[in-house]
């Protein structure tokens, strides 16, 4: 009797390995190779054979902690780079803030005239109706037309409007006075200031404005009398300071322009809640939002 051939039923799973298991073995093999070849300290212990499980867990936690801290620091640096301007300095050494003049601050009121002296809205309506204005109101109208942002009615003299000494003097004449009672807080290095003593007049594209810590015209230009108009405001001349050599004294209170030695609001200029009299509000000349602008 010849040999009998026996047959067994063999499933496909027994012939070919499971793809998932094959991928897992490959991933484990490649990870072990990476850990053995990498120069990152600690990674080789994760894939090295013969290591206890507790050793691998400890090294994994160490690597995870270091990677997390590095990511947090990178994100923090990136946010600072996005939100903060890049400052380029060619200085070879650091300077104390007490050696740097405090920047001038200019505050411009939106209201440009005292209604008791000149009512811009009333003059505008009279111009629309063709009513002739008195000489003073006509001159004030022409001067305010230089700084108002609305479309003014055309007239035969509009093309001749330009800024001159007469226009600036008229703007000063109708300009509303700054009352210290209308300022809830005005401080320099924590000391309460008198606005009439520390604010000077400055002519800008916004009209007449108040400036704090501004240099006197005589310290900026030659022959200042040709470009300035005398006012009742107190002027502050440069003391113990030059553009080339800086401050020549360590006494902060005996120099001008003023400076500080403490950073933050406590060491700087603070003004808050500067108000305008309701009767002086004028929504025609400037924007509908009344108040003050700082520059």
- Count the neighbouring beta carbons within 10 Å of the beta carbon of residue 103: 12
Question: What pLDDT, on the 0 to 100 scale, is given for residue 158?
Answer: 54
Q: What's 187's DSSP letter?
A: E
Contacts of residue 251, defined as CB under 8 A and 6 or more positions apart, other chains included, come to 240
Domain spans, the chain: 17-83, 99-294
Contacts of residue 176, defined as CB under 8 A and 6 or more positions apart, other chains included, come to 109, 111, 113, 114, 276, 277, 280
Question: What pLDDT, on the 0 to 100 scale, is given for residue 128?
Answer: 85
Element holding 21 (H helix, E strand): helix 19-37
In our burial notation (b when 16+ CB lie closer than 10 A, e otherwise), range 129-156 reads eeeeeeeebebbbbbbbbbbeeebeeee
What's the predicted TM-score (pTM) here?
0.60
DSSP-assigned beta bridge partners for residue 293: 108
Alpha-carbon distance of 224 to 28, in angstroms, equals 83
Half-sphere exposure of 239 (CA within 13 A, CB side): 13
* Tokens matching residue 92: 């070879």
* Tokens matching residue 130: 């063709």
CA-to-CA separations, 239 to 95, 222, 245, 251, in angstroms, rounded? 20, 18, 13, 11
Question: What pLDDT, on the 0 to 100 scale, is given for residue 160?
Answer: 56
Element holding 169 (H helix, E strand): helix 165-174
Q: What's 230's DSSP letter?
A: -
Question: What pLDDT, on the 0 to 100 scale, is given for residue 222?
Answer: 82
Distance of CA 97 to the CA centre of its chain: 19
Which residue spans within 189-234 are E strands per DSSP?
Answer: 191-192, 199-204, 207-212
- Look at residue 20 and give its three-state secondary structure: helix
Question: What pLDDT, on the 0 to 100 scale, is given for residue 71?
Answer: 95
- Mean pLDDT of each 10-residue bin along the chain, 295 residues long: 49 58 76 76 74 84 91 90 69 77 88 86 86 88 82 55 77 82 81 85 85 86 75 78 84 84 82 77 74 74
**Residue 257 near residue 213 (C-beta atoms within 8 A):** yes
């Amino acid at each position: 009797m010849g040999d009998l051939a026996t047959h067994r039923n063999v499933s496909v799973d027994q012939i070919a390995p499971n793809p998932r298991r094959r991928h897992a073995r490959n991933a484990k093999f490649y990870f072990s190779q990476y850990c053995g070849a990498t120069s990152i300290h600690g990674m080789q212990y994760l894939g090295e054979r013969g290591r206890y499980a507790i050793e691998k867990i400890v090294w994994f936690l160490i690597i995870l902690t270091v990677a997390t801290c590095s990511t947090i620091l990178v994100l923090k640096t990136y946010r600072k780079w996005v939100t903060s301007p890049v400052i380029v300095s060619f200085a070879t050494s650091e300077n104390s803030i007490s050696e740097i003049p405090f920047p001038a601050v200019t505050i411009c009121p939106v209201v440009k005239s005292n209604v008791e002296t000149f009512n811009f809205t009333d003059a505008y309506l009279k111009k629309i109706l063709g009513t002739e204005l008195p000489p003073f109101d006509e001159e004030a109208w022409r001067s305010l037309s230089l700084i108002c942002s609305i479309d003014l009615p055309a007239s035969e003299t509009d093309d001749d409007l330009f800024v001159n000494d007469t226009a600036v003097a008229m703007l000063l004449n109708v300009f509303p006075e700054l009352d210290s009672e209308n300022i809830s807080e005005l401080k320099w290095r924590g000391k309460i200031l008198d606005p009439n003593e520390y604010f000077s007049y400055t002519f800008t594209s916004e009209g007449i404005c108040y400036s704090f810590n501004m240099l006197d015209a005589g310290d900026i230009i030659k022959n200042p009398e040709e470009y300035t108009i005398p006012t009742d405001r107190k002027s502050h001349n440069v003391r113990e300071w030059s553009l080339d050599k800086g401050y020549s004294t360590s006494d902060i209170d005996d120099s001008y322009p003023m400076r500080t030695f403490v950073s933050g609001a406590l060491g700087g200029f603070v003004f808050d809640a500067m108000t305008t009299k309701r009767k002086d509000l004028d929504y025609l000349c400037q924007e509908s939002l009344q108040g003050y602008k700082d520059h």
